[in-house]
A and B are shown apart, each in its own frame.
Chain A
């Protein structure tokens, strides 16, 4: 039991944390920021290599707390890819807080380590710790600008996430107390054996039965996950934090944090609470519907681009929840594929927002008039990214949505697919509005040649824009290879770890 320690399985996370420590300490001695950035990129190769090294293996370590399978590895790659692009596209943003470059990179890496652990855990204690590691690092990052908006967004995120994670913790404790185990398989076994269901909520004696306590615990845990993935009842923080935080961090928060949230949501729902699936399936479906409508309808009235993208991520959490609701192999691989698509698309969108708002010195969509003629490449990337978020061919978003909606239709959730399509049409309206503004001929007033700082678009910025553009198009035109990955990933989860 004590010898069940396989550091090899933990090596990507160890490398990530070690890199973070090295960068933070290196910041003390290395005065050259470029060098620090280079070290970060070079160091990032180590966890990537170690993850590649683990590719294909399946196993458990740390007494079952840590699991390595294709599912976890997929999310680890996704997170590391997001980290790479985020650091790349931070380069035109860093001049706002040059003094803290090392801490900035270090905190990004630490929260990445947290997310990677979230994806690979099958035990409640380590799940809680990993989620908190993720959140705390991002809270500190959100406050990095030290402006009124930035600190406000950070404190809002901290308070709301502290309250939600306390609620989630209470749910965890209830489940632990009921089942006597913090391991996913132990809880699943207990649920499978105890035959709880919604019908046994109230005992004959009039007191709450085990089913009720378990279900309350389940709901509390679900609330915590809902906060992480930003579905509707727990979405209040999203627009504020997205607007106030530094833009690269907003991008990071919108993709990596959400991916980790969905990873653990899928794992908990389908490895632990599978036996009571009929009890929560409709609930998730309802969450999906209200998330889609709330996100899309509120996005229409937004004037700030980061806030608009924030509401759009709420809507996208709704689309992904369709796949979570359906839940068979098709639905789960739809979730994974959509997350990959969404990650690359949103990273592209935010990278171009960084460039464009550096040029215009504004994050208001109305100030983007005529930017399509000034900043040609960023505007093209933003256009393609917004088309992809809408879900129109030939972009990645189209394949992702088709895959998800197809999964819904196959499993008799046609109404969910219809709601999804209706919402895609609604979303087309506000995405299109942004695109149209960018290519309007500018009135002579808002001239953009003024700011000497913003006009320089660094090479790394262009690289990240290029990667995003190519990624969106490749996933849109030839998605077969990654579809193979994700089907493999969820297949392994379902066959290796059948729930009790």
Chain B
């Protein structure tokens, strides 16, 4: 075994044991000490001490989903930029133009979404 690169897991194990013990102790403590009485107040979800307003089952506007999907797709496509950035100096001009074409196609996708009006918020 190469000791230079070997990972030392002792701190991790210690941390896991300590945090596990502390957490379970806290839970046990809470179960023993906490009052068992259920009142209306204790059933309310805790929102930083402020009494909650309205229902928590609020409907979220469907437009968020479209933005989320756009973000997801364009964000993930950027993954190809990383290997490209590492290698394009070695490959030369063709790599640059390939990436331009790739980004161009992505841009056309954006144009499509734009023209379809999905980026408008009204």
Contacts and interface: CB of A to CB of B under 8 A. Distances in A.
A2 B94 CA distance: 10
Contacts of B112: 24-25, 28
B105 A28 contact: no
A25 B91 contact: no
Contact of A5 (B94, B108, B115): B94
Contacts of A24: 112
A28 B115 contact: yes
B108 A25 contact: yes
B52 to A, nearest CB: 35
Contacts of A5: 94
B116 A21 contact: no
Interface residues of A, number: 6
A25 B104 CA distance: 13
Interface string B103-116: 00100100110011
Interface in B65-112: 91, 94, 105, 108, 111-112
A24 B113 CA distance: 11
A25 B111 contact: yes
Nearest to B98: A5
A21 B105 CA distance: 8
B91 A2 contact: yes
A28 B112 CA distance: 8
Interface in A457-493: none
A268 to B, nearest CB: 27
Interface in B23-68: none
Contacts of A21: 105, 108
A25 B116 CA distance: 10
A441 B33 CA distance: 85
Contacts of A2: 91
A31 to B, nearest CB: 13
Interface in A1-44: 2, 5, 21, 24-25, 28
Nearest to B90: A2
Nearest to A103: B112
Nearest to A17: B105
A28 B116 contact: yes
A311 B112 CA distance: 38
A24 B116 CA distance: 11
Interface string A386-426: 00000000000000000000000000000000000000000
A180 B118 CA distance: 45
Contacts of A25: 108, 111-112
Contacts of B115: 28
Contacts of B108: 21, 25
A28 B115 CA distance: 7
A24 B108 CA distance: 10
A28 B114 CA distance: 10
A493 B77 CA distance: 36
A21 B102 CA distance: 13
A458 B6 CA distance: 73
A107 to B, nearest CB: 13
B2 to A, nearest CB: 22
B80 to A, nearest CB: 12
A72 to B, nearest CB: 23
Given A2-B91, A25-B112, A28-B116, 8 more contacts: A5-B94, A21-B105, A21-B108, A24-B112, A25-B108, A25-B111, A28-B112, A28-B115
11 contacts: A2-B91, A5-B94, A21-B105, A21-B108, A24-B112, A25-B108, A25-B111, A25-B112, A28-B112, A28-B115, A28-B116
4 tightest A-B CB contacts, nearest first: A28-B115, A2-B91, A21-B108, A24-B112
